[in-house]
C-alpha cells in the first residue's frame, strides 16, 4: 500500500515515513498542498496523512479533492491545535481520523491495522463480485467450490501455454465447452475458436471438415474448400466428443499435432498448422485405449494437461450460486427482474443428484420461471423428481452412485425421450446436443429401450 504524508514540518514527515516503511508501506512525502495533490493524482495512495495547516492552503480545502472518486484516499487529518467542533466537522466531511500531534505511535498502529483490514476486505469483495458478475466475463466458470477454484487456476495457467494440448474430461452437461472457451479467450490469440463434434459427421465428411479438400477430390467436391485447421489459424479447434472420432482420423490428427503439417483431401501441397488443440470427452479414454477404440499414441500425445470437471452433485454450494445465476439470466430475458426463489425451492435443488449436471439445472430453472406466475418460484414449479428427491448419503452408497457414467447418461436420454414422446429433435434440444449426436447415442442403447 502507498501512504502520502503532506506536512510542511520535515521532522514529522521523516518520522512518519520511517514508521510507515517499517510496516511495509511505500511512503511518499510532500511539503505543500499543491505538491501533495499532484503526487496523489499520479500515485493514487490508499492513505494520506494531511496536515490541517499548510503553507499554501488549509487541509480542509484539500480534503475534498483527496477523497473524491478520482483519488479515493483514506485521509487522516493531523493537527497540533485540537478543536473538538472542528474535528467533528472534518469527520463529517469525509476524514477517517482526526489525529493530534505529537503522535502516539501505538494508537496510530491500531488505526492503521483497522484501515488495512478494511482495505483487505474491500479487495476480497471486489474480487468475488467480479467472479460472480454476469458482465465481467461471459466465459467464466461460475462457482467457489474447491474443485472449481482449482480449475479456474488451471485455465489461467493453460491460457499462457499456447502449444500445450488440453484434454477435458467430465460427464455430459458439466461445462466442458465453457472451459474450452475460457482457455481460448484468456489466451489472447488472434484466431477464432472453432468447435467440431467428432460424432456428428461420417469419417469422410469429418476428414474434409478438418483438413479441407481440393476440387474433384471426391464426387461432390465441385470446388476447393478450406478446412477447420486453416480457418482456425492462430486460434483454437475444440474437438467435442473426442472419443467418437474414427481411428483413421485419429492417426491424421496425431500427425498434425506432431508435425504441424497437413494436406487437404486430394491435395499435394503441405500446409502449416498453428492451431491450438482442445479435446473433450465424457468417456474413460484409458479404457477406450485398452478396448482398441482410441489410439494409444494419440492419447499420450494429448493427455499432457488433463482437466477433470466434477459433476454438479459434488460441487456443494455451487448449486445455489448457479441457480441464482440462471434465475437472474432468464428473469432478465423475460423482463421479470423482480423474480426470486423461495428457500424451499433452493433446498430442493441442493438435495437432487443432477444426473444431467449444469445443463439439467439450467433447463429446470428455465422451466420453473416459465411456470411461475408471480414474483417467486417455488417447489411447485419443479419437476416431480426434484420435489421428492432425497439427499445423497455421505458415504455415496446411493444406487445411482454405483452406476457407471454410461448408464447414467443412457437413463437420462431415455427419460428425456419419454418426456418428449420420442421426439428426437426436441430431445436433442433439451439435452443440449445435435440431433445427429443423439441418433449416434441411440445406436448404443438396447433396441427394446429406444
Cα 144 to Cα 154: distance, rounded to the nearest angstrom = 14
3-state SS, 302-335, equals: HCCEEEECCCHHHCCCHHHHHHHHHHHHHHHHHC
What does the longest C-alpha to C-alpha distance in the chain come to?
96
Ramachandran angles phi, psi of 338, nearest 5°: -85, -5
| pTM above threshold 0.75 | no
* Four-residue CA torsion sign, 332, 334, 336, 342: negative
Cα 407 to Cα 413: distance, rounded to the nearest angstrom = 10
Cα 30 to Cα 58: distance, rounded to the nearest angstrom = 14
Picking from 447, 427, 450, 423, the residue whose alpha carbon sits closest to that of residue 437 is: 427
Regions in the chain scoring below 50 on pLDDT: 135-136, 390-402, 448-450
Cα 130 to Cα 107: distance, rounded to the nearest angstrom = 35
For the segment 51-67, what is each residue's pLDDT rounded down to a tens digit? 988 999 888 889 988 98
Distance of CA 150 to the CA centre of its chain: 11
Burial class, 193, CB count within 10 angstroms (exposed 0-12 / middle 13-18 / buried 19+): buried
In sequence order, the 6+-apart residues with CB closer than 8 A to the CB of 40 are 4, 48, 65, 66, 71, 73
pLDDT at 400: 41
Specify the DSSP class assigned to residue 142: P
Do the beta carbons of residue 141 and residue 185 sit within 8 Å? no
In the structure grid, which three cell numbers stand for residue 170, read together? Answer: 467430465
> What's the number of CA atoms in the CB half-sphere (13 Å) around residue 185?
12
pLDDT at 92: 83
pLDDT at 180: 94
Specify the DSSP class assigned to residue 292: T
In sequence order, the 6+-apart residues with CB closer than 8 A to the CB of 70 are 41
Domains present along the chain, CATH in parentheses: 2-128 (3.40.50.2300), 146-308 (3.40.50.300), 312-394 (1.10.8.60), 403-450 (1.10.10.60)
Cα 46 to Cα 44: distance, rounded to the nearest angstrom = 7
Burial class, 411, CB count within 10 angstroms (exposed 0-12 / middle 13-18 / buried 19+): middle
Specify the DSSP class assigned to residue 196: E
Cα 380 to Cα 393: distance, rounded to the nearest angstrom = 25
Do the beta carbons of residue 440 and residue 413 sit within 8 Å? no
Do the beta carbons of residue 333 and residue 194 sit within 8 Å? no
Picking from 248, 249, 205, 197, the residue whose alpha carbon sits closest to that of residue 437 is: 197
**Between vectors from CA 18 to CA 15 and to CA 24, what angle results, nearest 5°?**
145
End-to-end CA distance of the chain: 65
Cα 450 to Cα 406: distance, rounded to the nearest angstrom = 15
Cα 285 to Cα 17: distance, rounded to the nearest angstrom = 61
Cα 96 to Cα 116: distance, rounded to the nearest angstrom = 13
In the structure grid, which three cell numbers stand for residue 124, read together? Answer: 476480497
Orientation of helix 405-419 relative to helix 435-442, angle to 10°: 120
Cα 16 to Cα 78: distance, rounded to the nearest angstrom = 12
Amino acid at each position: 500500500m502507498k501512504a502520502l504524508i503532506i506536512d510542511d514540518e520535515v521532522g514529522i514527515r521523516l518520522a512518519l515515513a520511517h514508521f510507515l516503511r517499517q510496516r511495509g508501506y511505500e511512503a511518499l512525502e510532500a511539503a505543500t498542498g499543491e505538491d501533495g495533490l499532484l503526487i496523489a493524482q499520479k500515485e493514487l495512495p490508499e492513505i494520506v496523512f494531511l496536515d490541517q495547516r499548510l503553507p499554501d492552503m488549509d487541509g480542509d480545502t484539500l480534503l475534498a479533492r483527496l477523497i473524491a472518486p478520482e483519488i479515493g484516499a483514506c485521509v487522516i487529518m493531523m493537527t497540533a491545535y485540537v478543536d473538538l467542533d472542528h474535528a467533528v466537522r472534518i469527520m463529517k466531511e469525509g476524514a477517517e481520523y482526526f489525529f493530534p500531534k505529537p503522535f502516539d505511535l501505538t494508537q496510530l498502529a491500531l488505526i492503521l491495522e483497522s484501515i488495512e483490514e478494511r482495505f483487505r476486505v474491500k479487495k476480497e469483495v471486489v474480487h468475488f463480485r467480479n467472479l460472480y458478475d454476469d458482465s465481467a466475463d461471459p466465459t467464466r466458470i461460475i462457482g467457489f467450490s474447491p474443485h472449481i477454484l482449482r480449475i479456474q487456476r488451471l485455465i489461467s495457467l493453460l491460457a499462457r501455454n499456447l502449444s500445450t494440448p488440453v484434454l477435458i474430461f467430465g460427464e455430459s452437461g458439466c461445462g466442458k465447452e465453457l472451459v474450452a472457451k475460457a482457455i481460448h479467450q484468456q489466451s489472447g490469440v488472434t484466431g477464432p475458436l472453432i468447435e467440431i463434434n467428432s460424432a456428428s459427421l461420417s469419417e469422410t465428411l469429418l476428414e474434409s471438415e478438418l483438413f479441407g479438400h481440393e476440387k474433384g477430390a471426391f464426387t461432390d467436391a465441385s470446388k476447393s474448400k478450406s478446412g477447420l485447421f486453416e480457418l482456425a489459424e492462430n486460434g483454437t479447434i475444440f474437438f467435442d466428443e473426442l472419443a467418437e472420432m474414427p481411428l483413421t482420423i485419429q492417426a491424421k490428427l496425431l500427425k498434425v499435432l506432431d508435425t504441424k503439417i497437413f494436406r487437404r483431401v486430394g491435395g499435394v501441397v503441405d500446409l502449416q498448422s498453428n492451431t491450438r488443440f482442445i479435446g473433450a470427452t465424457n468417456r474413460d479414454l484409458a479404457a477406450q485405449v485398452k478396448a482398441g477404440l482410441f489410439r494409444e499414441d494419440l492419447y499420450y500425445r494429448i493427455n499432457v494437461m488433463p482437466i477433470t470437471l466434477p459433476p454438479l452433485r459434488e460441487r456443494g454450494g455451487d448449486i445455489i450460486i448457479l441457480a441464482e445465476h440462471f434465475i437472474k439470466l432468464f428473469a432478465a430475458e423475460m423482463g421479470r427482474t423482480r423474480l426470486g426463489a423461495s428457500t424451499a425451492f433452493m433446498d430442493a435443488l441442493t438435495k437432487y443428484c443432477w444426473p444431467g449436471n449444469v445443463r439439467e439445472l439450467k433447463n429446470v430453472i428455465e422451466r420453473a420461471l416459465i411456470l411461475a406466475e408471480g414474483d417467486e418460484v417455488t417447489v411447485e414449479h419443479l419437476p416431480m423428481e426434484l420435489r421428492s428427491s432425497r439427499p445423497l448419503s455421505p458415504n455415496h452408497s446411493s444406487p445411482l452412485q454405483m452406476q457407471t457414467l454410461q448408464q447414467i447418461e443412457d437413463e437420462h436420454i431415455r427419460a428425456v425421450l419419454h418426456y418428449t414422446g420420442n421426439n428426437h429433435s426436441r430431445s436433442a434440444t433439451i439435452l443440449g446436443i445435435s440431433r445427429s449426436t443423439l441418433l449416434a447415442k441411440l445406436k448404443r442403447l438396447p433396441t427394446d429401450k429406444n
